[in-house]
Structure 1
Amino acid sequence: MTVAFTFPGQGSQSVGMGKELADSFAEARAVFDEVDEALGEKLSDVMWNGPEETLTMTANAQPALMAVSIAAIRVMQARGLDLKSKVAYVAGHSLGEYSALCAAGTFTLADTARLLRIRGNAMQAAVPAGKGAMAAIIGLEHSAVEAICQSVASLGACQIANDNGGGQLVVSGEKAAVEQAAALAKEQKALRAILLPVSAPFHSRLMAPAADAMSEALSKVQANNPIVPVVANVRAAPVTDASEIVKLLVEQVTGQVRWRETVEWFAANGVTSLYEIGSGKVLTGLVRRIDKSLAGTAVNTPADIDAALTALNA
């Protein structure tokens, strides 16, 4: 069995996430305390008690999701998991790439929390409210959606932001262009083409101010080579050099999350099992749609951790 760990992105948050881990394990409580201290506020209180609209804010959801993932990792490590010997690769969806890098030792927990707070605020501030939009398009090929984006260019920026696999693509850009792209997708018999309730056009070139902010923020933190290779979002291939990782994280703000290709890369390079570490099971569901030869397992409760450790140590 060759294993990769994956880490969820925005949309996997829910009120109460991580509470069972904190109640059950001192190592998890220590992670949430350290994140609270790094941010100078009780993010854990918002995570566990809401309100949901506050947790869903980009600047909160990003460090919160990372905290749950790292809490689970620290619990597993305290119970004997040696990441370097048991896990061949790590990868994360969008903000989840930061969780993966924290797990692999590229960034400290405190630095990762602060980077994600900066990232969330910068992405939110990059585009005035109402100017940008995102739409999910289900049931068309990547090439067809790419052609649609090109055909609406006269209306403004529009590009593929996420290739999630299973025929699920997300486009992002200026509102008029994205709305027209969704309409054209319906004309081309997409199963669904719906505008998403998001606060900004993530992973589009409109995020350039946020990319600049992340370039500056990343230049101020220590980045170490990861102890296991990280399969980067914008490359869908493994990276082990810290300076290259930082460069790709800046590119990621305006670039495409190539998740389908990431999972396909795993399957083509000997990985047999993907463990999704953290809140929810979105990535585990995508695995089944992308490549049924891969086993996907979500790990976010004490029982999940026990089962995963048993399997990993078998």
Structure 2
Amino acid sequence: MSSTPKSLAMFPGQGSQRAGMAEFLLSHYPEAAGRIFATADRALGFSLTELCVSGSATEIACTEIAQPAIVATSLAVLEVLSEKGFRPSLVTGHSLGEYTALVAAQVLAPQDAIGLVRRRGELMARVSDKVPGAMAAIFGLPVELIEVICAGLPADGVAEVANHNEAGQTVISGTRNTVAQATRIAVAYGAHRVVELDVSAPFHCSLMDEIEDEFAAELDRYDFASPRLPVISSVTGEPVTTAEEARWLLRCQLAGPVRWVDVLTTAQLHGITDYVEIGPGRVLSGLANRMISGASVRSTNDKRRVAALLQTY
């Protein structure tokens, strides 16, 4: 079937996991989804399938489990859609979701992406065990002001912009006390709302610097190919053009911020009018709905939404 015109496949990151998130996929699309989960189980040496079907919310929330679980579930949805002819024009992923995007672009093999994110999760969990970190979403202030607030805090702590998700929503990350101090100042400056995120590690800030070299060595163990489909990196907001650039950006992603506003801006410049979130979440489709007037935006996080999307191919 011909390419889906002007569509962007968006793959969600950590936080989109939930108990039973793959149950409907394996029940209704056992062959397509089963292939992906069988690959994941072999790559990991344990039954990720069982965890994604019947694991508790607590089990699935552990960073080292959540990351491969989200990637596998997203890949399973992609497999189901691809069998019916879904062919995106571009792909992208929010942080962790970039691994799924690289599989979609044939840069990484599915089993390699799942193995990498398992190790990524283990290393991130190690940082969390050492440092009492936190992340918080700040609504209603420009990212430039939040950067100024963070830069003015005492040097004995860390608070940095982690995600620039939309014009009025920025996530900060760092040490718990310093993040709390930054949010108090943000409220004083007129932030509409502050939400502490329920996360297991302070992602996308300099606290992750200590694991960069170790993870880079892990990345070097895997084969990367040049993208067969344009991939917009959440690190730069620009297309990835080579295998080595893809590898390097996955390293940079650990401590660097997610530039989601730039990702969607680049997608619009490429003429994208159809935005499809592929995986267990709905955050990215919500962001696209609010940021892009008149766009077609769809998600795939449950049986009804997947079935509706399949009707269009």
Question: TM-score, structure 2 length as denominator?
Answer: 0.93
More deviation, 68-77/219-228: 68-77
Give deviations 1:194-244, integer Å, cap 9, x for gaps. 332322211001101232222111100011112111100110011121100
For 2:33, give the aligned amino acid. A
2:59 to 26, 41, 54: 54
Matched residue of 2:253: which SS?
helix
Matched residue of 2:172: which SS?
strand
CA distance in 2, matches of 1:271, 1:181: 36
CA distance in 2, matches of 1:168, 1:294: 20
Structure 1 128/28 Cα, relative in aligned 2: closer, same or farther at 3 Å? closer
Q: CA deviation at 1:127?
A: 4.2
More deviation, 280-289/129-138: 129-138
Number of the residue aligned with 1:2: 6
Structure 1 218/130 Cα, relative in aligned 2: closer, same or farther at 3 Å? closer
Matched residue of 1:99: which SS?
helix
Q: CA deviation at 1:301?
A: 4.2
Number of the residue aligned with 1:17: 21
CA distance in 2, matches of 1:166, 1:60: 31
CA distance in 2, matches of 1:29, 1:288: 31
Structure 1 248/132 Cα, relative in aligned 2: closer, same or farther at 3 Å? same
Structure 2 counterparts to residues 83-102 of structure 1, below 5 A? 83=87, 87-102=88-103
Q: Report how many residues are paired.
A: 308
Can you give the 5+ residue segments of structure 1 that lack an aligned partner in the other structure? none
Can you give the 5+ residue segments of structure 2 that lack an aligned partner in the other structure? none
Number of the residue aligned with 1:73: 78
Q: CA deviation at 1:157?
A: 2.2
For 1:8, give the aligned amino acid. P
More deviation, 122-131/7-16: 122-131
Contact 2:164 2:258 in 1 (8 A): yes
Contact 2:159 2:172 in 1 (8 A): yes
Contact 1:155 1:176 in 2 (8 A): no
1:290 aligns with 2:291: yes
Give deviations 1:261-289, integer Å, cap 9, x for gaps. 21122123211111111112111111122
CA distance in 2, matches of 1:132, 1:301: 32
Structure 1 155/183 Cα, relative in aligned 2: closer, same or farther at 3 Å? farther
More deviation, 69-78/33-42: 69-78
Number of the residue aligned with 2:37: 32
Contact 1:148 1:181 in 2 (8 A): yes
Number of the residue aligned with 1:273: 274
More deviation, 263-272/127-136: 127-136
Matched residue of 1:134: which SS?
strand
Matched residue of 1:171: which SS?
strand
For 1:45, give the aligned amino acid. E
Contact 1:5 1:275 in 2 (8 A): yes
CA distance in 2, matches of 1:90, 1:98: 11
Structure 2 counterparts to residues 142-221 of structure 1, below 5 A? 142-221=143-222
C-alpha root-mean-square deviation of aligned residues, in Å? 1.6
Structure 2 counterparts to residues 247-262 of structure 1, below 5 A? 247-262=248-263
Number of the residue aligned with 1:245: 246
Q: CA deviation at 1:193?
A: 2.0
Matched residue of 2:250: which SS?
helix
CA distance in 2, matches of 1:105, 1:48: 27
CA distance in 2, matches of 1:169, 1:52: 26
Contact 1:166 1:289 in 2 (8 A): no
CA distance in 2, matches of 1:141, 1:115: 34
Contact 2:15 2:199 in 1 (8 A): no
Q: CA deviation at 1:129?
A: 4.6
Q: CA deviation at 1:50?
A: 1.8
Contact 2:136 2:171 in 1 (8 A): yes
Structure 1 127/14 Cα, relative in aligned 2: closer, same or farther at 3 Å? closer
CA distance in 1, matches of 2:85, 2:277: 18
